[in-house]
Structures are given as C-alpha cells and as structure tokens.
C-alpha cells in the first residue's frame, strides 16, 4: 500500500464515474443521493461552522478575564504552574486555557512560561487606558440569558428556565452526538483522510470507533474494491446501519459490535483507521494502538486522525479548543505513542483546516 501526500481539494474518485450522478447501488438499497467527493456548496460551510462553534472562543476569553489572568501576567512571564498558584486554579486546565489564549494571539509562549502579547497588554490588563475587561465581564453576566434562550422563545417569558423545556427522549443525547459526527465529517475531514492516503492495493480497512461510518463511506466511494469494517458499540452501530444504507454501501461496509476496552479488533486488515479516538493522554491511546497493531497484516498501515497540537503547544486554535474541552496530543506526543506501539515509518501526512491532522505508521 502506497502512501502519498495529495492535494486537499476534492477529486474525482479513481473509478472514473461522474461524482454528481445519481445511481442505484448494486445491493438494491436505493438511489445514492450524495457523493462525498463532489458535494455542492461545501465551500460555504465555514460560515455556518463559525456561527455555531465560536461560543467556545468567547467563553475561554470570559473565563481568562474573570480569573484576572492577563492582569496577573502584566509585563512579566510565568509558567503554567506559577500562574495557577497565583490564580488558585488547577494547573492542568490552566495550561490548556493558556494554549487556547496563545492560539488566539493573546499570549505568547516564551522560555520558562507565557506572557501577554501587545494585544492583551493593550486591552486586557486592568488599568490600561483601553481596558476592555469590564465589557467582557458584562458579556459573561448576560451569558445565562443566551443559555436559556430556547426556553424564552418557547414560553415568551424572559425569565423562563431550562427546566421548562420538554425532556429529551431516551438515548437522544447519544444519537445526537453520533449524527453530529456524521454532519461534521461529511464537510471535509472524511474526504481529507481518504484522499491523503493511497489504498489502491488494500482490500480491507478497519474503522475503530467509526461511529456513523462516514469515513468508511468516503473510503468506499473513493476505492470501489475496498471493504470496510466499522467497530463500535451496538447502540452506535444501529445508527451507522441507517447511514451506511442511505449511501447504498451495506454490502461493502460491515458492522462489528464491540467494546475497545474489552474486545480485540480482529485480524488480517490492510489498514486500520483510528479517527477521533486518540484524544490526548487520557484516551488510553496505548491500548488502542496495541490492539490496532495486532489487527493489521505485516506491512499494513495505521491511520491516526485527530485534533493535533503543534510541537510548541500554541495552536492551532481548533485543536487548542478541543484540548481544553476533551484533550489532544501534540505532534511529537502522538508520534511517540505510535512508535511505542511498534509502528515504523511514522510521519505526519496532512493538517486539516480545523486543527485535525493525519499521522500514519506501518506495521513491520
């Protein structure tokens, strides 16, 4: 299996078909309405993405302001440990917040710690002529209204509480999460992963924690000879079954129920994909990588796709925000995890627009 660094622009799959053509699947499951390789309007998505995700930036700034972080760093630098001691905060999460603030251009990392940039010194240090901290604090004070907005709109009462909203149906949160992963993956990440590596000689790919199966769909649409296995919990695979059927690929994408904490992944695979399941040191990456190594044929490739911080841990922004909420490795840290699990020829293949990256390694 060859691995190539390719353009990140959508390309016509190698089978030569017209990507926009509606066609019947060979399994008779109905018309495939979407080809992930030529989705019209994809270039508009960043506008919507910013609208529904930028609250994270606002909240990180509000919390840093409330802690007095920028004023504490005025005209000096401190390490995460020193700063957390002065602020009375948790060192680990303080460091995660500092990484976000670096990615926002409000702090810079220097030898021995962090310091304000000119932007922060000008607007965020209490007592500065152009200080904006009170305005940011006011925005935090009205945050509760925006949090309760659905209840306000439903009832017409400004003071309505979240308790007045209708309760969600059972399993609603889990299904929403899995379908959200599909929503986000079809807008670029799945295509980026599937076109960055060359699987023209592969026959079987294992998609560990594959959720709705979106990455397997992208691979199968690109490589008509490929079969994929999505490994995930039974309740997740019920959703994947629907999604895969909508794309007419149930005959090539197989569903394997299992729990990665307890079960082996299988064997004799040409490639194993671990997409968005290696979320930093708390994600049990060593265990997952070891099982993936056992599932591969000799010479098979591991594809590790996740949010990835740069080596300096100062960005990119989307990876820094995800690290604050869940966790993320830096590039050297993830490379070390792959090598410790026995993979060779480990290298970074591509960085995506959203702070996601693809790193690969080969089983000897």
Active-site amino acid positions: 279
Residues 6+ apart with CB under 8 A from 77: 110, 112, 113, 114, 115
Q: Which helix (H) or strand (E) holds 82?
A: helix 80-87
Helices 91-103 and 317-325, axial angle in degrees (round to 10): 160
Beta-strand pair 356-362/344-351: antiparallel
Q: Which residues contact 214 (CB under 8 A, 6 or more apart)?
A: 181, 182, 185, 186, 190, 243
What is the rounded CA–CA span in Å between residue 293 and residue 271?
A: 10
* Rounded CA separation 101/108 (Å): 8
Distance of CA 174 to the CA centre of its chain: 17
Minimal CA–CA distance to 197: which of 17, 336, 362?
362
Place of tokens 């080596």: 311
Place of tokens 């992944």: 265
């Amino acid at each position: 299996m060859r691995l190539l660094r390719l353009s990140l622009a959508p390309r016509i799959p190698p089978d030569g078909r017209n990507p926009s053509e509606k066609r019947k699947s060979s399994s008779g499951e109905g018309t495939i309405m979407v080809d992930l390789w030529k989705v019209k309007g994809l270039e508009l998505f960043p506008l919507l993405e910013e609208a529904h995700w930028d609250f994270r930036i606002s909240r990180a700034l509000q919390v840093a302001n409330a802690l007095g972080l920028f004023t504490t760093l005025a005209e000096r630098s401190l390490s995460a440990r020193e700063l957390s001691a002065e602020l009375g905060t948790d060192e680990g999460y303080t460091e995660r917040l500092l990484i976000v603030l670096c990615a926002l251009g409000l702090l810079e990392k220097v030898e021995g710690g962090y310091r304000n940039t000119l932007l922060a010194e000008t607007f965020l240090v209490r007592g500065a002529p152009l200080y904006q901290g009170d305005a940011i604090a006011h925005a935090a004070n009205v945050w509760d209204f925006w949090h309760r907005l659905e209840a306000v709109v439903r009832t017409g009462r400004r003071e309505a509480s979240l308790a007045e909203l209708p309760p969600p149906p059972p399993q609603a949160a889990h299904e929403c999460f899995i379908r959200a992963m599909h929503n986000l993956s079809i807008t670029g990440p799945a295509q980026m992963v599937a076109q960055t590596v060359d699987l023209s000689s592969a026959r079987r790919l294992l998609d560990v924690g594959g959720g709705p199966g979106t990455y397997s769909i992208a691979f199968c649409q690109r490589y008509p000879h490929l079969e994929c296995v999505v490994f995930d919990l039974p309740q997740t695979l019920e959703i994947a079954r629907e999604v895969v059927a909508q794309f007419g690929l149930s005959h090539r994408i197989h569903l394997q129920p299992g729990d990665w904490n307890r079960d082996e992944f299988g064997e004799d695979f040409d490639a194993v994909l671990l997409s968005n399941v290696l979320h930093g040191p708390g994600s049990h990456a060593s265990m997952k990588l070891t099982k993936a190594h056992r599932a591969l044929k000799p010479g098979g490739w591991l594809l590790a796709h996740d949010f990835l911080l740069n080596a300096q841990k100062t960005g990119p922004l989307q990876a820094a925000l995800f690290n604050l909420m869940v966790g993320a490795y830096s590039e050297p840290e993830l490379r070390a995890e792959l090598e410790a699990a026995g993979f060779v020829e480990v290298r970074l293949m591509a960085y995506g627009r959203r702070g996601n990256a693809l790193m690969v390694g080969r089983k000897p």
